[in-house]
């Protein structure tokens, strides 16, 4: 799928929007480095200078059509939920123009009292959202989310070869279903996405996963995002939600939803990583998949009260091509184009080059270690990764209904996931750093992917 086939060049976009929106003059367009066409625009509109956002259709791994997302977004705006204002839908561009929300997402560095106030305001918005009458949403044709079912269906439609870890995750999710509600309510689903400024919530953003579903999903999914944003103690957050709504937060459901959500990233993006398009933000998807797969095995280990294994860090081999790898990495790191989008393209190339450098240094040993672990669990020896992958998937599928080998497979997949994460980049790089989710029991976080500490030890 080609970017230019979906959205015309900037000059044409400017011409179309100014013709469609009377009183609009676009002064500047900054294309954003995202997995969908999006621009921040400095404009004069109806006599005022302001900023607007132009948001287009997701290029790959689409959750729902943008037009459906906009319909849901409009209904929240009409009901007083703090979301960006929608100003215009363009059929010509298949894109939406909305207000630019000031502030930032991260809460890192905020004083705890300020952070908690901002998060409380977000929880208040969720509580209000969950108490909305769902019937108008049903009447409008807003989709009813079904947990991970949509992602599983799409994964199956695009699967091209064995994928044992995903088959293990699907089997676990099917054996541990979510609670069944008689009444689904409006939810954002991909929760924790909001901007704040001056100590207060500004708006909930990114509603592409929104629909009608279980409200506990909105209290669960952002547990992963917390590793980078810092929302504070989730036990405190859940207590405040219960106080606001009078509804009990069922922690068994939260656990199952969290584990399913951790698998969900790779369910959604795994096939894009295995068969990427030229426009795919490959290394970002790979890092997301690797990071959340580790979160999945960590959460499963807590669910089963297991102690997770660590792994050794292989010594890099003495590559004949080491100088060439190093040259390419250094070359890409030095280039500094003025255009933000080209900077992002070079960043992707730089991260890809460092990944391939790391694979060249330790990849053979990683594959050998994985083959040894697969043999230990399945009792079968394979000399090639393709045959081992197929055999491991067959082993997983044979255990799909009963889950008799869950503990052994959690052990195996965690070790394999650690090795995959190790290949993202050099030890100590952001790409190879793992951030551990809050535990369900509130205990200390245990990072088995602290490769730098392991190596020093």
Residue 307, SS3 per DSSP: coil
User: Do residues 116 and 255 both lie within one domain?
Assistant: yes
User: Do residues 262 and 310 both lie within one domain?
Assistant: no
What's residue 3's pLDDT?
43
User: Do residues 311 and 381 both lie within one domain?
Assistant: yes
Q: What is the mean pLDDT for each group of 10 consecutive residues in the chain (457 residues)? A: 59 95 95 81 94 87 87 98 97 95 96 98 98 97 80 84 95 92 92 97 95 96 97 98 97 96 89 80 91 97 95 93 93 85 86 96 96 96 94 97 97 97 93 96 91 63
User: Do residues 259 and 298 both lie within one domain?
Assistant: no
What's residue 153's pLDDT?
83
User: Do residues 269 and 125 both lie within one domain?
Assistant: yes
User: Do residues 260 and 284 both lie within one domain?
Assistant: no
What's residue 147's pLDDT?
65
What's residue 4's pLDDT?
46
User: Do residues 82 and 117 both lie within one domain?
Assistant: no
User: Do residues 131 and 245 both lie within one domain?
Assistant: yes
What's residue 343's pLDDT?
85
| Separation in Å, CA 158 to CA 74, 117, 153, 166 | 31, 43, 9, 13
What's residue 198's pLDDT?
97
Count of helix runs (H) and strand runs (E) in the chain: 17, 9
Q: What residues make up the domain containing 82?
A: 3-99
User: Do residues 15 and 38 both lie within one domain?
Assistant: yes
Measure the CA–CA gap between 257 and 58, rounded to whole angstroms.
25
User: Do residues 58 and 173 both lie within one domain?
Assistant: no
Specify the residue for token string 């959340």. 292
Last residue in a domain, options 275, 307, 338: 275
What's residue 181's pLDDT?
87
Split into its structural domains, the chain has a count of 3
User: Do residues 125 and 18 both lie within one domain?
Assistant: no
Burial of 94 (0-12, 13-18, 19+ CB in 10 A): middle
User: Do residues 190 and 51 both lie within one domain?
Assistant: no
């Amino acid at each position: 799928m080609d970017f230019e086939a979906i959205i015309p060049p900037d000059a044409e976009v400017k011409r179309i929007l100014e013709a469609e929106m009377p009183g609009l003059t676009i002064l500047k367009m900054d294309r954003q480095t995202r997995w969908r066409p999006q621009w921040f625009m400095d404009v004069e509109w109806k006599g005022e200078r302001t900023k607007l956002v132009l948001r287009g259709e997701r290029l790959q791994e689409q959750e729902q059509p943008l037009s459906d997302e906009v319909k849901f977004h409009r209904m929240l705006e009409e009901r007083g939920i703090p979301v960006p204002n929608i100003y215009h839908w363009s059929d010509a561009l298949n894109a939406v123009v909305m207000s630019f929300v000031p502030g930032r997402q991260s809460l890192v560095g905020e004083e705890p009292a300020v952070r908690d106030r901002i998060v409380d305001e977000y929880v208040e918005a969720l509580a209000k959202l969950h108490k909305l009458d769902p019937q108008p949403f049903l009447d409008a044709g807003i989709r009813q989310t079904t947990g991970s079912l949509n992602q599983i269906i799409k994964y199956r439609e695009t699967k091209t070869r064995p994928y044992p870890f995903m088959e293990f995750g699907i089997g676990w999710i099917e054996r541990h279903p979510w609670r069944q509600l008689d009444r689904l309510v409006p939810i954002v689903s991909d929760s924790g996405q909001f901007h704040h400024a001056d100590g207060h919530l500004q708006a909930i953003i990114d509603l592409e996963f929104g629909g009608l579903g279980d409200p506990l999903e909105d209290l669960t999914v952002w547990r992963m995002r917390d590793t980078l944003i810092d929302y504070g103690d989730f036990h405190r957050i859940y207590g405040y939600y219960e106080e606001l709504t009078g509804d009990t937060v069922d922690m068994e459901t939260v656990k199952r939803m969290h584990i399913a959500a951790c698998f969900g990233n790779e369910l959604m993006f795994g096939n894009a990583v295995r068969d990427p398009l030229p426009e795919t933000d490959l290394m970002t998807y790979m890092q997301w998949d690797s990071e959340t797969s580790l979160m999945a095995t960590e959460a499963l280990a807590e669910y089963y009260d297991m102690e997770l294994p660590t792994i050794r860090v292989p010594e890099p081999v003495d590559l004949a091509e080491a100088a060439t790898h190093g040259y390419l990495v250094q070359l890409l790191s030095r280039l500094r184009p003025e255009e933000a989008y080209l900077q992002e393209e070079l960043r992707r190339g730089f991260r890809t080059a460092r990944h391939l450098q790391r694979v060249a240094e330790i990849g053979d040993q990683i594959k050998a270690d994985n083959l040894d672990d697969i043999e230990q669990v399945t009792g079968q020896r394979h000399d090639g990764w393709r045959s081992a992958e197929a055999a491991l998937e067959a082993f997983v599928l044979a255990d799909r209904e009963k889950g008799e080998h869950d503990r052994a497979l959690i052990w195996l997949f965690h070790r394999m996931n650690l090795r995959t994460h190790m290949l993202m980049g050099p030890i100590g790089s952001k790409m190879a750093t793992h951030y551990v989710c809050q535990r369900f029991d509130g205990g200390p976080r245990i990072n088995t992917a602290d490769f730098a500490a392991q190596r020093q030890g």
